């Protein structure tokens, strides 16, 4: 049976808000709510990650903070397994991340 998914989390003035969306057999989907200036620091995972900007605009880092890709609403970026990655909101931003396979460790902020 299908499932409707939508970001219904809140923006937090202190730090990015992470909203779990769903977990399937082989993937996990998460929404990130970031106010302008908030950042998900560089980190790695053994999984492939596809991020899509649902609202706003941000800088997405691949490999290092110097390798910047600016994305706006509707644009996506793909990260390879073990590739350092992170992002920072230029404007208030909602990001959808699809992660496969499901990572063994959880991102800690």
Confidence of residue 109 (pLDDT cuts 50, 70, 90): low
Cβ proximity of 86 and 92 under 8 Å: no
Q: Tens of pLDDT along 40-97?
A: 999 999 999 999 999 999 999 999 999 999 999 999 999 999 999 999 999 999 999 9
Could you tell me the two tokens for 109?
Answer: 């902020």
Question: What confidence score (pLDDT) does residue 52 get?
Answer: 98
Structural domain includes residue 66: yes
Supply the range of the domain harboring residue 56. Answer: 23-100
pTM of the predicted structure, to 2 decimals:
0.92
- Residue 41 belongs to a domain with what CATH number? 2.60.120.10
Domain-located, residue 33: yes
Tell me whether residue 70 is in a domain.
yes
Confidence (pLDDT) at 108: 65
- Domain membership flag for residue 92: yes
Distance CA 20, CA 59 (A): 22
For the ranges 1-5, 41-45, 90-94, 104-108, the lowest mean pLDDT is seen at 104-108
Q: Per the structure, how many domains does the chain have?
A: 1
Read off the pLDDT band of 9 (50, 70, 90). confident
pLDDT given for residue 11 in this prediction = 95
Structural domain includes residue 52: yes
Predicted pLDDT at 46: 93
């Amino acid at each position: 049976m299908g499932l409707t998914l939508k970001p219904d989390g809140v923006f937090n003035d202190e730090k990015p808000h992470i909203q779990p969306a769903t977990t399937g057999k082989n993937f996990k989907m998460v929404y990130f709510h970031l106010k302008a200036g908030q950042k998900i620091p560089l980190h790695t995972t053994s999984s492939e990650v596809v991020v899509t900007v649902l609202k706003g605009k941000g800088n997405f880092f691949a490999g290092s903070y110097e390798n910047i890709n600016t994305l706006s609403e509707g644009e996506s970026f793909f990260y390879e397994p073990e590739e350092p990655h992170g992002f920072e909101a230029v404007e208030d931003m909602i990001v959808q991340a699809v992660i496969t396979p499901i990572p063994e460790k959880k991102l800690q902020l």
